[in-house]
Amino acid sequence: MHIPRFHLAFPVHDLESAREFYIQVLGCTLGRESDKWIDFNFYGHQFVAHLPPGDCTIPKTNPVDGDQIPARRFGEILPWDQWEDWCKKTKIDGVDFLIGPRKRFKKAQASREHSLFRIIVKTYWSSSLLKIKMIFL
């Protein structure tokens, strides 16, 4: 089955910090770039960090399962072993978690392990472990 690729453009306050984080911490590969944006290949999807004019404001939050979760965030959904490895790597790399790895929605059919951190480029990144068939439950 063909899974379409997606394009996600997002604001950052510092392109060099974004480059370092997305390549060294998340393992993205570099695509095209200019002095105003950088393309990253993230699991075959196109992520584009843009340096917008003005400030990168911190997004509003919503209460979700006992935490204040930024309304604007993105991330990946990984199998258990990859999620554990990823959490270990980010801790070694000194990434500060906004919400450390923990189980969310414990009583729901689609409970998941979840972590969330605010990266140095003022974008919120979430990492989840969830059975693929339960993504939309």
100-124: pLDDT as tens digits: 666 666 665 544 444 444 443 445 5
Does residue 57 sit within a domain?
Answer: no
pTM: 0.64
Q: Do residues 66 and 89 share a domain?
A: yes
Does residue 30 sit within a domain?
Answer: yes
The encoded tokens of residue 9 equal: 């453009």
- The answer to whether residue 83 scores a pLDDT higher than 60 is yes
Does residue 79 sit within a domain?
Answer: yes
Three-state SS letters, the chain: CCCCCCEEEEECCCHHHHHHHHHHHCCCEEEEECCCEEEEEECCEEEEEECCCCCCCCCCEEEECCEEEECCCEEEEECHHHHHHHHHHHHHCCCCCCEEEEEECCCCCCCEEEEEEECCCCCEEEEEECCHHHCCC
Amino acid identity at 133? K
Q: Do residues 81 and 123 share a domain?
A: yes
Domain CATH number, residue 127: 3.10.180.10
Q: Report the number of distinct structural domains present in the chain.
A: 2
Q: Do residues 84 and 24 share a domain?
A: no
pLDDT of residue 109: 52
- The per-residue pLDDT for range 42-81, each reduced to its tens digit, is 888 898 999 887 766 667 888 877 778 777 777 777 777 7
Q: Do residues 85 and 129 share a domain?
A: yes
Does residue 2 sit within a domain?
Answer: no
Q: Do residues 120 and 76 share a domain?
A: yes
Q: Do residues 66 and 43 share a domain?
A: no
Domain span including residue 122 = 62-134
Q: How far apart are CA 42 and CA 72, in angstroms?
A: 18
